[in-house]
């Protein structure tokens, strides 16, 4: 009986100490790893989230751009990090929902090595062209591609990115032959689109909007299921004649899988509070994004569904990275 009482006391003490630790979380700087270069949509969302968490916690939040291998390098660094909640990954679908279908092998397991914190934001993808391209509509762009098979290129932020797979989906559903040109991040791809080195690309609204407003590129369609309130005159791909086309992107926050439940609860509570901040909602809307409403187990279910969805696109397109 005395041994049992001692065991119960130890459990209670452990629970109390864990709760106390979570109550003081974080007690040192937190690093959010972005597995893509600075300047892209992922980076924009990460810096907005990081600034607000800094205000909430009173702790420095460092944004660490660790790009390479389609996001795998940054993702692996978080999967192998100390599971104390101070090293997090804020990523687009690639590392968590696409790369397991795209790459022959990964140095981490997207479904087992991470603990889902929250869906931070969802963003539409836009099809844009260099202003010198004669096509002013999706139908005209398809006609150009069919008139010169294999001659038109489309850029992306890298293999397996949602803007890459949106292009592959476009090829398949429009029945055209356009050539993928991968870049190391969305920013250099956008620079080449503006310079006319590539004629077209799909990209996320937060990164593409300033260039559209500045007239350095021309948007011709939204790839999502509905029009964007930022550009209400821009049709969806389906409205433009590519039936059933739907491609959008999102950004999610995860921690190493062994992160204690109390720390996970503290992270989820903090991010949920930030995403309800009117200033955050306003700033996300200004770049065409919507705050996420999924966390913990619900976000995990969402990730599994996204892996199935994009896995089918990868298989249909026959895209592989060795």
Total structural domains within the chain = 2
Decide if pLDDT at 116 tops 60.
Answer: yes
Q: What are phi and psi of 217, to 5 degrees?
A: -140, 165
Q: Is residue 292 part of a domain?
A: yes
Q: Which tens digit of pLDDT belongs to each residue from 143-195?
A: 999 999 999 999 998 888 889 999 999 999 999 999 999 998 888 999 999 99
Q: pLDDT value at position 109?
A: 97
**Is the predicted pLDDT of residue 19 greater than 50, yes or no?**
no
Are residue 119 and residue 138 in the same domain, yes or no?
no
Question: In this predicted structure, which of 198-202, 254-258, 272-276, 311-315 has the lowest mean pLDDT?
Answer: 311-315
- Residue 151 and residue 119 share a domain: no
Share of the chain above pLDDT 90, in %: 77
d(CA 193, CA 128): 9
Give a yes or no: residue 139 inside a domain: yes
Q: Same domain for 118 and 132?
A: no
Q: The domain spanning residue 131 has which CATH number?
A: 3.40.190.10
pLDDT at 22: 59
Residues 96, 29, single domain; the answer is yes
Residue 54 forms part of a structural domain: yes
One domain, residues 133 and 70:
no
Tokens of 208: 């593409």
For residues 186 and 201, membership in a common domain is answered with: yes
Q: Does the pLDDT of residue 12 top 80, yes or no?
A: no
Residue 3 belongs to some domain of the structure: no
145 with 187, same domain: the answer is yes
What pLDDT sits at residue 74? 97
**Residue 83: CATH number of its domain:** 3.40.190.150
The predicted-structure confidence for 260-318, as pLDDT tens digits, reads as follows 999 999 999 999 999 999 999 999 999 889 999 999 999 999 999 999 989 998 998 88
Whether residues 133 and 281 fall in one domain:
no
Provide the whole-model pTM. 0.83
Give yes or no for residue 15 having a pLDDT over 70. Answer: no
Q: Is residue 11 part of a domain?
A: no
Determine how many CB atoms are found less than 10 A away from the CB of residue 134: 10
Its domain, for residue 137, covers: 124-222
Contact 118, 301 (CB under 8 A): no
Cα 53 to Cα 283: distance, rounded to the nearest angstrom = 15
Q: Which of 207, 222, 237 is the last residue of a domain?
A: 222
Say if residue 85 is in the same domain as residue 131: no
Q: Look-up: residue for tokens 């919507």?
A: 290
Instruction: Please determine, for residue 5, whether its predicted confidence score (pLDDT) is greater than 60.
Output: no
- Asked if residue 114 and residue 46 are part of one domain, the reply reads yes
How confident is the model over 54-103, as pLDDT tens digits? 999 999 999 999 998 889 999 999 999 999 999 999 999 999 999 999 99
């Amino acid at each position: 009986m005395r041994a049992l009482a001692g065991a119960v006391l130890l459990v209670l003490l452990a629970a109390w100490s864990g709760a106390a630790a979570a109550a003081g979380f974080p007690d040192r700087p937190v690093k959010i790893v972005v597995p893509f270069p600075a300047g892209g949509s992922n980076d924009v969302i990460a810096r907005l989230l990081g600034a607000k968490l800094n205000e909430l916690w009173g702790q420095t939040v460092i944004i660490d751009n660790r790009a390479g291998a389609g996001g795998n390098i940054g993702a692996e660094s978080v999967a192998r990090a100390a599971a104390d909640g101070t090293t997090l990954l804020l990523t687009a679908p690639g590392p968590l929902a696409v790369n397991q279908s795209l790459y022959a092998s990964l140095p981490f397991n997207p479904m087992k090595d991470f603990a889902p914190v929250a869906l931070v934001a969802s963003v539409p993808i836009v099809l844009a062209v260099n202003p010198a391209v004669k096509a002013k509509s999706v139908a005209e762009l398809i006609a150009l591609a069919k008139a010169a098979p294999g001659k038109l290129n489309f850029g992306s932020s890298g293999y397996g990115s949602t803007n890459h797979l949106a292009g592959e989906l476009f090829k398949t559903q429009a029945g055209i032959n356009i050539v993928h040109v991968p870049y190391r991040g969305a920013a250099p791809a956008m620079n080449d689109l503006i310079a006319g080195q590539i004629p077209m690309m799909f990209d996320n609204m937060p990164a593409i909007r300033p260039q559209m407003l500045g007239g350095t590129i021309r948007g011709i369609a939204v790839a999502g299921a509905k029009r964007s309130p930022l550009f209400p005159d821009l049709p969806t791909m389906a409205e433009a004649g590519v039936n059933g086309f739907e491609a959008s992107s999102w950004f999610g926050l995860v921690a190493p899988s062994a992160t204690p439940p109390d720390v996970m609860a503290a992270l989820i509570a903090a991010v949920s509070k930030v995403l309800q901040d009117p200033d955050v909602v306003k700033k996300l809307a200004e770049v065409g994004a919507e705050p996420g409403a999924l966390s913990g187990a619900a976000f995990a279910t969402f990730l599994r569904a996204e892996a199935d969805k994009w896995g089918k696109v990868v298989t249909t397109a026959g895209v592989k990275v060795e």
